[in-house]
Structure 1
Amino acid sequence: MFHATDDFDRQEVVAMKVRAAALLGVIALAATGCGATSPAKQDTGPIVIGMPIALSGLASGLDGPFHTGAQLAVDDINASGGVLGRRLRIVSADAKSDPAQSATAAQTVINQGAKFILPTVDYDLGGPAARLAQSKGLVSMTLAGDPRFGMLGVGSLAFNIGSGGPTEGASAASFAWSRGWRRPYLLEDTSLAYSQSFCQFFRHSWKTISGARAASIPSDSFLNGDPSIASQITRLKAARPRPDFVVLCSYPPGGAAAVKQLRAAGINVPVVGGVAFDGTFWLPTVPKERNFYAMGGGVITGTDPEPMRAKVFSEYRAKTGKAPVNGIWALSGYSSIQALAKAITAAKSTKSTAVAAQLERFHDEPLAIGPTTWTAQCHVAVGRPTVVIRMDKGREAYTATVTPKKIPQAC
């Protein structure tokens, strides 16, 4: 043991202890990355965005354009220097169009370093992945007609890039009323929450616009997998007063088969559908259709009147060699990346709570999909103007842009 023998020795011992403590402090700072060292690797590497989506199965026709749109935005942003000086990178995993596989696919991309999650474009199919992201403290974003994709059905870190069933239903009602149509007949596909919510919010909005009682709107139901809707068509044809338009709350392929059967039965009144019918992918079923109107995202065949949407569709054609088969899904992917990049930049961080706080400040934020608003109380982009597209013998024709005056409560 060392013994100090005089004041000088005692002062030297104190000095030695001070120098040792300082040295240990420097070592500790270096070990934790808090000293004057280079930034940690995770702060300079790519920002990884995970897409646990349907790479196979029924929903792959929707998630494919969603993924391509997201990659186009990543390419554009990286070409402009990235975000916070870092590149964006997408990793994906196949959820196989199966809700039971959604969370598993999400865990796969999280294991690959994903800090943000863009799941399948549907609440039923993408919700499990979003809920896993919520449990891990990660922001998720996708398009879903069911407004439960957001705070209601997922949590505080989930954002719906779509305007949801409330806006779709209100837009359909407003559009039909503006055309002078007064006698709707609803065909409701009960196989998904999306199709049910479209009918639900149409009823609510039609009641508000027309003053009619919701119970007075005639309706019938079917399932997407039903091989025939002959009995529903019989009841529709017998309805009095005779309906002057049909609201089809469904999605392809069953919804497309329903249109074919309606026309074959001589029912030629206008048919109005939601964003599930945005695109030309389902038109081979009814190649001569000219009286179907979809609440969509943009015109993919021809020239879209909005320059930002037209730019995305042009880039899509350049990247893939063909036009997207639908507009809303490609725009959703592109706009989700846009939104995350803007929020990360504003937050100066990839921390989920900081990014979410910036997303909640969006007010008519210009995105490719359209002006987008979220609040601390509502994570659904309610109220965005809706593009109405008429199907015209295998192509799309821009018809109108509708902004409903009143939208049912979404959050």
Structure 2
Amino acid sequence: MKHALIASALTLALASPAWASEDITVGFAIAKSGWMEAYDTPAAAAAKIRIDEINANGGLLGQQVKWVETDTKTDRAQSAKAGLQVLDDGADMMVVSCDYDFGAPAALAAEAEGKNSFFLCAEDVKAGIQGVGPNSFSGSVLAAVQGATMAEWSTHQRDAKTGYVLLDTTIEYNKGICTGFDWMFPKAGGDIVGRDTFKNNDASIASQISRIKALPQEPDVIMLCSYIPGAAAAVRQLRAAGIQSMILNGSAVDGSYWLDAVPDLSGFVLPVQGSIYGDDPRAEVERFNTAYEAATGARPASQYAYPGYVLIDLWAKAVARAGTVEGSAVTAELEKMQNEATTFGPRSFSDTLHHQNSANMQIIEISGATPAVVDNWTISEPVPLDVLLK
């Protein structure tokens, strides 16, 4: 009997690698340390929730989906090494950092092997065909769409006629927001009456505020293209100077964690892919928020968890339709997706753009320091590729 058990155990041990090789493997080459960790970890947690759901429903192509993970340490050189590591660990598809600059080195390693890569939440057009190659995609909505959404929504829903553009030139994401606003605001009937720039770590924007106050009339809206902490500092100074214009921004400022820096803030509006505040009109979004809390111990701190869930959902659908995880075959199926249903709204890809150049966005307004959904908006036309590439 003892010999039979040993023989049986040996048989299982020898068989295990063959069974493991039948699994489908997703490789996460993401930041688990450094400043990018705050963006990558929530989105990766959401991606793993969708993987668990897929496995609970029988897997993908009759196989279970497992994942391997390596820390890029928010370092570009380490990103390339992390990409190679997860490929060595058997990754069939690679998930990379939210930011294009930090995710691209890993994504390029996947591209070299003919495998698909998905940026967790990059919103720069280069995170895809234009910067990595034909098998690379992003799970998020382009920054230019966020700016265009704010432009069209404010003119149509709040009768904005004049706008002032205040651009934080620190990162490309900010420039993308302003690019979308600059494109849509005049088309929607608005007039951009001035523009200025600053840096995220500037201690003061007093000179910029002086130029706004020197205008014949206060602008209806200020398009602030920035992220925390610079965005919070700019808003605090604008309000302290008595400027009451509605302030618009992109999704990067989603979350209530920064509002203590601007007491009693009102008249601040941003677009998001879904609401973390329990008031999203789509019941499935709140179901995800609850599932995320059960998995991680806390609700999402911002909308940047959501693209991780979306990317696994879309990739898995494409794999099922292709009948394989082979990169070019999956890419072909992803590029056929037009208004593909997801928990956070329809998504589309094409053979020229692996991003969302239009999306239904929930409109969050902060009033009395309390964020809440006040509307939803889809821009009347997608942002053209030539605008995205400016």
- Tell me the TM-score normalized by structure 1: 0.84
Match of 1:11 in 2: none
The answer (yes or no) to whether the contact 1:170–1:205 under 8 Å persists in 2 is yes
1:157 equivalent in structure 2:
135
* Equivalence for 2:214: 238
Instruction: Return the alpha-carbon distance in structure 1 between the equivalents of residues 319 and 305 of structure 2.
Output: 22
- What residue is the counterpart of 1:146 in the other structure? 124
Larger-gyration structure (1/2): 1
Aligned-pair distance for 1:186?
1.0
- Cα pair distance change 1:395/1:62, threshold 3 Å: farther
Match of 1:325 in 2: 301
Q: Is the 8 A contact 1:170 1:406 kept in 2?
A: no
Equivalent position of 2:106 in the other structure: 129
CA distance in 2, matches of 1:227, 1:45: 55
Counterparts of 2:77 and 2:370 in 1: how far apart (Å)? 36
Cα distance in 1, alignment partners of residues 66 and 241 from structure 2 = 50
User: For each residue in 1:276-334, what CA deviation from the matched residue of structure 2 results, as whole angstroms up to 9, or x when unmatched?
Assistant: 1122233332252232111111111223111222221110112222211002x211011
Counterpart-to-counterpart distance in 1, 2:360 and 2:292: 23
In the alignment, residue 275 of structure 2 is paired with which amino acid? V
2:161 aligns with: 182
Classify the secondary structure of the residue corresponding to 1:391. Answer: strand
CA offset at residue 239 of structure 1?
2.4
Change (3 A) 1:261 1:101: farther
2:225 paired with 1:275: no
In structure 2, runs of 5+ residues without a counterpart are: 1-14
Structure 1 pair 97/294, CA: closer, same or farther in 2 (3 Å)? farther
Which amino acid is 1:58 matched to? Answer: W
Write out the 4+ residue segments of structure 1 that deviate beyond 6 Å after TM superposition.
none
> Could you tell me which of 351, 358, 364 is aligned with 1:383?
358
In structure 2, what residue type is equivalent to 1:330? A
SS of the aligned residue for 1:186 comes to strand
Equivalent runs, 1:168-317 vs 2, <5 Å: 168-178=146-156, 179-210=158-189, 212=191, 216-317=192-293
For 1:115, the equivalent position in structure 2 comes to 92
Structure 1 position 42, deviation (Å): 7.4
AA aligned to 1:356 is: T
Local SS of the residue matching 2:165: strand
Tell me how far apart the structure 2 counterparts of residues 98 and 392 of structure 1 sit (CA, whole Å): 38
Q: Give the match's secondary structure for 2:130.
A: coil
Partner of 1:88: 65
- Contact 1:130–1:140 (CA under 8 A) maintained in structure 2: yes
**What does the per-residue CA deviation read over 1:246-296, in whole Å, with 9 as the maximum and x for residues that have no partner?**
111111122222222222222232111111112223333225223211111
* Partner deviation per Cα, 1:146-184 (whole Å, 9 max, x = no partner): 122221122101112223133222211111102111111
SS state of the match for residue 366, structure 1? coil
- For 2:237 and 2:71, the matched residues in 1 are separated by 34
CA RMSD after TM alignment: 2.1
Amino acid at match of 2:67: I
Instruction: Check whether the contact 1:205–1:407 (CA below 8 A) recurs between aligned residues.
Output: no
1:99 aligns with 2:76: yes
Q: State, as a whole percentage, how many aligned pairs show the same letter.
A: 35
TM-score, structure 2 normalization: 0.89
What code does the residue aligned with 1:250 have? S
